[in-house]
Amino acid sequence: MDLVTILTVLNPMDAQLARSRLEAAGFHPFVTSETAALSIEGYALAAGGIRVQVPDTEAAEAKEFLNAPPAPAE
């Protein structure tokens, strides 16, 4: 199984939010390089960012899911 990066962020909370959304939608995400980012008093220092990855078979669908506008609340 090959992993594909579908999102790169500097904030660990953004990466975990994306992971949670993807898992709730039935995808199989992985968060990598989380220790590559460091936040000091609101400033993010990062070397390459934090990557959210999914298996290559899910990449196109997962990226489309993350980029879609949120569904309206009922």
Is 36 among the domain residues?
A: yes
Work out the pLDDT band at 4, boundaries 50, 70, 90.
very high
Asked, for residue 54, whether it belongs to a domain, the answer is yes
Q: Which amino acid is at 55?
A: P
CA-based nearest residue to 9, from 42, 40, 46, 39: 46
3-9, strands of its sheet edge to edge? 3-9, 50-55, 30-32
As for how many domains the chain has, the answer is 1
SS3 54: strand
**Residue 74 lies inside a defined structural domain of this protein:** no
Confidence of residue 59 (pLDDT cuts 50, 70, 90): very high
**What is the extent of the structural domain holding 52?**
3-67
pTM as predicted: 0.77
Q: Please say whether the beta carbons of 3 and 53 come within 8 A.
A: yes
**Residue 12 is assigned to a structural domain of this protein:** yes
Residue 21 has pLDDT above 90, yes or no: yes
Mean pLDDT over each residue of the chain, to the nearest integer: 85
SS3 at position 3: strand
Beta bridge partners of 40: 43
* Sequence-separated (6 or more) residues with CB below 8 Å from residue 61: 27
Residue range 31-56: mean pLDDT, rounded = 74
User: Would 73 be classed as within a structural domain?
Assistant: no
8 assigned to some structural domain: yes
In a domain, 72, yes or no: no
Higher pLDDT, 35 or 8: 8
The arithmetic mean of pLDDT across residues 43-58, rounded, is 81
